[in-house]
Amino acid sequence: MKTSSSRWRTVGAALVAVAVAGGATACSSSDGASDGSGGGSYAIWDPYPQFNDDSGWVKLLKDCGTSAGVTVERTGYDTTDLTNKALLAAQQDNSPDVLIIDNPVVSTLAEAGALTATEETKLDTSAMQPNLLGAGQVGGRTYGVPIGANTLALYYNKDVLTAAGVDVAKVVDWPSLTAALAKVDAAGKKGITFAAIGTEEGSFQFLPWFWGSGARLTALDSPQAVSALTLWTDWLTKGYAPNSVINNTQTTSWQEFASGDYAFGENGTWQLANAEKLDFEYGIIPIPASGGGTAPAPTGGEFVSIPVQSDTGRYATSEKLVGCLTSADNLLTTDTTLSYIAPVAAVQDKQVAANPDLLVWVDAVGAAKGRTGDNLGTRYPKISEPLWTAVQAALSGAKAPQEALSAAQTTAAAATR
């Protein structure tokens, strides 16, 4: 892909201003041969600073470098810092050769002209699940390969449900879930906890119910959207969910569920290790859609992308590195380490064979959607903030669901014109 220099100056400068304001600096170690024949040093940046140089993850990166005939120089950043550094590096023509980035950020970098499209670098995405790949697509072009995905489901406390006389197998839609919460409440226990904090975490947790109603992010005030927010507000009004959800992060929501008092807790695959430490027996079911079936939940996880380089001769080796990192054998190991579900069906089968409890997560990921999908791209953050603001207003009682979502739609429409 040839990027338009004028477009980059216009879009990129505005984005980089954010990075500069945050005090971000960038440096790359992409020195060495660049004729595609191998050799030299190739830089990889990732959002996994928790993994040190002795970890299996870094060993994989180094091994992929060896297979490609180059030396890998890896740097791990936290997600926010990585986004800022990637923007600034692109402006300075000093990007890493391979960038592993949170999937909602892909559209931001792609629209800024900072990433190559897979059609140019010949990355193979044919085996990837289309719904996961969608998070990295802008204007019909794909800007990387998903390395794995996580999403949301409902953890449940078997003891609480048994004592309340609830058969979890019959919780298949909103009416049956609400009926289960009523039984739990009547039995003297607490119903459900989730995170509705006024940040992206709040939108992330609300989206399965929003999408599960049939609503679309381009119409925040539709009858379907109002039904989803009404569901949540009714749960608070009836005492089925605690008022604390208004300030809950996904971590504090998990802590509430882990207390043993709640029947259900909405959370993600990243809590599986903590779930094994619970003092009670738990299970997991998909978040139900309004009329039944699995609700589309938002995908988390990263894409492995190749940033734009002025020296296009480097792309051939970068493609080898990405191909190695996202090969079936390496995905199995990597996604187990990251508590991700693989983006490839054949690897998912291996994950379930090794741990049958992952089947519910495979099903949830299969129904999931990228937040920037439906060609929303960089418009998504301008929609998400009004959405979480509406959720906060309704749950706090400041506005009725319809009023809150009508205001959100007006704000989002003005911001995305």
Mean pLDDT for the stretch of residues 41-67: 95
By DSSP bridging, strand 141-142 and strand 145-146 are unpaired
pLDDT at residue 337, as a whole number = 86
Give the model's pLDDT for residue 38: 53
Instruction: Give 227-266 pLDDT, tens digit per residue.
Output: 999 999 999 999 999 999 999 999 999 999 999 999 999 9
* % of the chain beyond a pLDDT of 70: 91
- Read off the pLDDT of each residue in 302-318 and give the average, rounded to a whole number: 97
pLDDT at 12 over 50: no
pLDDT digits (tens, 9 = 90+) for 358-370: 999 999 999 999 9
Residue matched to tokens 């931001």: 108
The residue among 131, 123, 128 whose CA lies nearest residue 147 is 128
pLDDT more than 90, % of the chain: 87
Is 24 a residue whose pLDDT tops 60? no
- Which superfamily is assigned to 152-297+376-415 in CATH? Periplasmic binding protein-like II (3.40.190.10)
Mean pLDDT of 120-139: 94
Residue-level pLDDT at 37: 47
pLDDT at 378 over 90: yes
| pLDDT exceeds cutoff 80 at 50 | yes
What pLDDT was estimated at residue 375? 85
Mean pLDDT of 125-142: 94
Q: Which residue has the tokens 């998912």?
A: 348
- Residue 26 reports pLDDT greater than 90: no
Rounded CA separation 307/318 (Å)? 9
Q: How far apart are CA 385 and CA 237, in angstroms?
A: 24
Mean pLDDT value of segment 144-164? 97
pTM (2 decimals)?
0.87
Nearest to 315 by CA among 36, 112, 42, 94: 36
Residue pair 181/192 in contact (Cβ under 8 Å)? The answer is yes
Amino acid 382: pLDDT: 96
pLDDT-derived band at 79 (thresholds 50, 70, 90) equals confident
The pLDDT confidence band at residue 7, using thresholds 50, 70 and 90, is very low
In this structure, CATH architecture of domain 28-149+300-367: 3-Layer(aba) Sandwich (3.40)
Spell out the domain ranges in the chain.
28-149+300-367, 152-297+376-415
Q: Is the pLDDT of residue 41 over 70?
A: yes
Mean pLDDT, all residues of the chain: 91
At residue 32, the pLDDT reads 45
Are the CB atoms for 263 and 180 separated by under 8 Å? yes
Dist. CA 62–CA 220, nearest whole Å: 46
Rounded CA-CA distance 12/233 in Å is: 41
The confidence score (pLDDT) of residue 85 equals 96
| Mean local confidence (pLDDT), 28-36 | 44
Q: How many other CB atoms are found less than 10 A from the CB of residue 354?
A: 10
Give mean pLDDT, residues 372-382.
92
Instruction: Name the band, by pLDDT with cuts 50, 70 and 90, for residue 10.
Output: very low
| 196-227 per-position pLDDT tens digit | 999 999 999 999 999 999 999 999 999 999 99
Which of the four pLDDT bands, split at 50, 70 and 90, describes residue 39? confident
